[in-house]
Amino acid sequence: MISPGENSRLWEQFHKDNIIAIGRDYLGVIKNYSLKEAVERRIAEQRADGVRPVHDTKAVWDFYSDIKIGDIIYVKEGIKKILARGVVTGDYYFAYEASE
């Protein structure tokens, strides 16, 4: 499952560009992190509330390490609406040219 931003605001772009994405630009290239804990530390640095970012870390790490070509992805809006179903056709990459 993936959510295309708050209120699905990025859905049209995802659909047009045939992509799924996760927004954590400040992390840079996820494959440069050898440990999940390093991702967690970097996310924690960005948070102002001091809460350990367990769920955000898992989402980022799973997005990079677990999604493989051939996997089925559901795009959701909120917690009850499915917008689309797709199949992963390419590997992870960091989109340097993306605006977010």
Query: In 3D, which of 12, 21, 5 has the Cα closest to residue 73?
Result: 21
Residue 92: inside a domain, yes or no?
no
pLDDT on residue 91: 92
Provide mean pLDDT across the span 21-40: 92
The secondary structure element, H or E, covering residue 72 is strand 72-77
Q: Which residues form the domain of 37?
A: 6-87
Q: Decide if 1 is inside a domain.
A: no
- Residue 47 forms part of a structural domain: yes
Report yes or no on 99 lying in a domain.
no
Tell me what the pLDDT averaged over the chain comes to: 92
- The model's confidence at residue 23, banded by pLDDT at 50, 70 and 90, is confident
In the predicted structure, residue 50 carries a pLDDT above the cut 90:
no
Give the pTM: 0.79
Chain-centroid distance of CA 4 in Å reads 9
Where is average pLDDT lowest: 12-16, 23-27, 36-40, 52-56? 23-27
Q: In this structure, is residue 66 part of a structural domain? A: yes
Q: Is residue 25 part of a domain?
A: yes
